[in-house]
Amino acid sequence: MKRQRNTKIVATLGPASSDHQMIRKLHESGADVFRLNMSHGSHEEIRERHRIIREVEKELDSTIGILADLQGPKLRVGVFANDSEELAEGARFRLDLSDEPGTQDRVTLPHPEIFAVLEAGANLLVNDGKIRLKVLDCGADFAECEVIAGGTISNRKGVNVPDVVLPLAALSEKDRKDLEFVCQLGIDWLALSFVQRPEDVAEARDLAQGRAAILSKIEKPAAVKAFDEILEVSDGIMVARGDLGVELPVQAVPPIQKRLIRKCRAAAKPVIVATQMLESMIESPMPTRAEVSDVAAAIYEGTDAVMLSAESAAGQYPVEAVTTMDKVAQEVESDPTYREVIEASRNNVKGSVADGIVAAAREIAETTDIKAICCFTQSGTTALITARERPRVPIIALTPLRGTARKLALSWGVNCYMTAELERFKQAVVNAARTARSKGFATEADQIVVAAGVPFNQPGTTNILRVAPCEERLIYASDPE
């Protein structure tokens, strides 16, 4: 489905968006990738949503990516005798391993691994940071704290530990079961929560065994510190600003977001900006001006995709939320300032022959009357490095592999279409011209740039660049074998 924008939209499915009609509407309105949140819903519900997505894909002759988001380990306090208590600023409060119901003075924190690494002076955040505790003294089974920011604490509220790297695997037992389930189901991207170190990503990759691309969620200070190493072993990144904004000062999140987006682009790996992008649209058909500015800022920064969470999963206006994102992206990308920002932040990568080919393709397309850059790709790498260039003309990615096309649905500006396996370069040029014409990117009077690799059907062989006419009789008359 040809979009009028380059930035992609990820929409989370849930109770408000689980039937065939709604999922189809969301895709037609602009959703390029659907997120299955493994924190909510049974395996049967996830299986049914997956089935519907693939039905819609077939009905509309489209390409839709599916991202399964693993829950990750959840750190929570225990229960209280009165269900909740009020903690006053300056009071003492104890966390321990006792099974006794909580009181105004203490509660269970059933995670000995936290106590093992705590030190005096460390901060503990409860209920998304609404309650802040400072550790005064601690041991193998307790932490004596001072209440820095008080409030109501109740049963099973979440706990964040921002100051230390926790000796916890990113994959819980539930995550391992969910990972195997969705990989067997046939998803394209696997989002990994609670990433702290590159070894967390390596573990998920070993379990996935090539059945899905790995997308690391950056939501902890430790992940920000180790970002370069995490990026190197990941296929993509999600800037998960919700937990990141809890564990770090909120004012630190925007510059971190900007830095991570630029690093992902330089590495030619897709990046999603997520969390609370159009939060008010859970209950309102109109976003706030601040939310629109937030979405626009991420697009100006060059993100590959923006994501809706509860807005599309549980909100009252899922279609309107997707439509709003679509309109914001179109408006931003039509602004001359957008091109200035994108081109000023372009990295001149000196690496492989393929890097040189796609850089040349972009230069040719922008200095002559070229309507599209067409690239043939097996693994998706050629399309990814073309997207890194952020060209002014559309990118058409042609691949014989359905899985590659679906993964590329997340990448900036990439329009993915299926093609038969090729044996000769002339076939590639003909197929590229036909696709450009049939999908409305060019007419017979236009020219396109074609990038491909010979021999065909081998990843990493991009080595040919050709400017080609879109009229077939001219191709046959002028193109070499």
Of the listed 47, 54, 76, 346, which one is catalytic?
Answer: 76
The Cα–Cα gap between 457 and 449 comes to 19
Of the listed 5, 24, 35, 94, which one is catalytic?
Answer: 35
The Cα–Cα gap between 110 and 114 comes to 9
Encoded tokens for 332: 């931003």
Tokens 């706030």 belong to residue: 288
Give the relative orientation of helices 253-266 and 289-300 as an angle to the nearest 10 degrees: 30
Residue whose C-alpha is closest to residue 160's, from 138, 204, 130: 130
Q: CA torsion sign, 193 to 195 to 199 to 202?
A: positive
The Cα–Cα gap between 188 and 66 comes to 5
Segments in 138-210 forming alpha helices (H): 173-185, 198-208
Phi, psi of 300 (to 5 degrees): -60, -35
* Strand 395-399 versus strand 462-469 pairing type: unpaired
Q: CA torsion sign, 295 to 301 to 306 to 309?
A: negative
Point out which residues pair with 125 in neighbouring strands.
132, 160
Q: How many residues does the chain have?
A: 481
Residue whose C-alpha is closest to residue 305's, from 345, 277, 266, 346: 277
Q: Give ∠ CA 354-9-290 in degrees, rounded to 5.
A: 120
Encoded tokens for 56: 């819609």
Q: Which amino acid is at 294?
A: D
| Residue 57 vs residues 78, 394, 411: alpha-carbon distances, Å | 44, 22, 18
Of the listed 12, 108, 275, 303, which one is catalytic?
Answer: 275
Q: Is 35 a catalytic residue?
A: yes
Q: Is 217 a catalytic residue?
A: yes
Residue 230, phi-psi category: left (phi > 0), alpha (psi -120 to 50), beta (remainder) = alpha
The Cα–Cα gap between 352 and 364 comes to 19
Q: Which amino acid is at 289?
A: R
Q: CA torsion sign, 424 to 409 to 171 to 37?
A: negative
Q: Which run of H or of E encompasses 402?
A: helix 402-407
Q: Is 205 a catalytic residue?
A: no
Q: How far is CA 190 from the centre of its chain?
A: 10
Q: Which run of H or of E encompasses 9?
A: strand 8-13
Q: Is 406 a catalytic residue?
A: no
Of the listed 157, 217, 406, 466, which one is catalytic?
Answer: 217
Q: Is 372 in contact with 451 (CB distance < 8 Å)?
A: no
Q: How far is CA 198 from the centre of its chain?
A: 17
The Cα–Cα gap between 468 and 425 comes to 12
Q: Catalytic residue positions?
A: 35, 76, 217, 275
